[in-house]
Amino acid sequence: MVAWNKEKLCMIEAKFHNEFGLKSDLKVVLYVKARFDDLRESTFNYGNINRRPDEGWLVTNTKFTDQAIKYGECRGIKMIGWNYPKKGNLQDIIEELRLHPITCLINLSNFYKKQLLAKGVVLCKDILDKPELLEEIGMKNDEKEKVLNETRVTCGI
């Protein structure tokens, strides 16, 4: 991924893991650092400006090991994970922007989660924006109300 503005060009490696308890360790950060070093030698045109990347980022939905954090800090890799940085980590971002995934809902069965995901519904707020989606996937009224109530609480509404 790439992010840019007038001042900076950032190359971002996004790592998604769905295995519970997995951590992003030193070798993941080493890989990202090596990749960024390779890209840093090239020129890219973003925002109608030819330039080299200024920053390398690693964004993941896992926690980082202490060794990965130490190396990333030492080598200037910007990192966002479940536990890092102390403020502005992935959990903080999700809660602040209310971007809770539907997979966190306890009252929504895996069957219905798959149905919603197939329709492109990923966030709890999507359910609140279009509650009729629950009917479209065949959910009964009593189940629907439980899911909607849990979704409101999750989103802080």
DSSP the chain: -EEE-SS-EEEEEEE---STT-EE-HHHHHHHHHHHHHHHTS-EEETTEEE---EEEEEESSEEPHHHHHHHHHHT-EEE-SS-SSSS-HHHHHHHHT--BGGG-SSS-HHHHHHHHHTT--BHHHHHH-THHHHHTT--HHHHHHHHHHHHHHHT-
Query: What is this structure's pTM?
Result: 0.78
* pLDDT band, very low/low/confident/very high, at 43 (cuts 50, 70, 90): very high
Q: Is the pLDDT assigned to residue 157 strictly greater than 90?
A: no
Q: Is the pLDDT assigned to residue 139 strictly greater than 90?
A: yes
Residues of the chain with pLDDT > 70, as a percent, come to 100
pLDDT in tens, 64-117: 999 999 999 999 999 999 999 999 999 999 989 989 999 999 999 999 999 999
